[in-house]
């Protein structure tokens, strides 16, 4: 499992409005495309600079495909990154702050100590 790769997915998708829409409409296809095309790209470097070894586990792929922020948090994904991306994806379907409240309510069963979110 790579918390770094989960956070990188959440970060890069959230910062690209076209990827946000793509992830909203086709989460499975977006995860598959991103892993093949973006996972090994080194951010803020020439596009030819790439790594070769990063990939999601099947559990990570499933959580991302299902847009399951609770499971992602339990895996160690940073909650700020899941919250900001999922606000961009889902907030328009809800009234003011409804999505944020539902996000928190879905995680209220998680108690201390929280999962380690350091990368």
Q: What is the pLDDT of residue 2?
A: 83
Q: What is the pLDDT of residue 75?
A: 94
Helix/strand/coil for 89: helix
Angle CA(13)–CA(91)–CA(44) in degrees, nearest 5? 20
Q: What is the DSSP letter of 65?
A: H
Q: What is the pLDDT of residue 40?
A: 80
Select from 21, 118, 27, 32 the least CA-distant residue to 79: 118
Phi, psi of 114 (to 5 degrees): -70, 160
Q: CA 109 to CA 97: how far, in whole Å? A: 20
Q: What is the pLDDT of residue 114?
A: 86
Cβ contact 69:103 at 8 Å: yes
Q: What is the pLDDT of residue 58?
A: 96
Q: Where are the beta strands (DSSP E) in 17-118?
A: none
Instruction: Per-residue pLDDT tens, the chain, 119 aa: give them.
Output: 688 899 999 999 999 999 999 999 999 999 999 999 988 877 656 666 666 678 999 999 999 999 999 999 999 999 999 999 999 999 999 888 998 999 999 999 998 888 888 87
Q: What is the pLDDT of residue 46?
A: 60
């Amino acid at each position: 499992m790579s918390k770094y790769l989960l956070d990188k997915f959440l970060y890069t998708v959230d910062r690209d409005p076209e990827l946000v829409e793509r992830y909203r409409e086709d989460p499975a296809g977006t995860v598959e495309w991103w892993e093949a095309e973006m996972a090994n790209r080194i951010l803020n470097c020439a596009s030819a600079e790439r790594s070769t070894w990063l990939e999601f586990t099947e559990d990570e792929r499933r959580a991302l495909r299902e847009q399951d922020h609770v499971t992602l948090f339990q895996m160690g994904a940073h909650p700020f990154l899941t919250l900001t991306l999922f606000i961009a994806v889902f907030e328009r379907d809800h009234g003011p702050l409804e999505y944020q409240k539902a996000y928190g309510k879905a995680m209220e069963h998680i108690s201390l100590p929280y999962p380690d979110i350091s990368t």
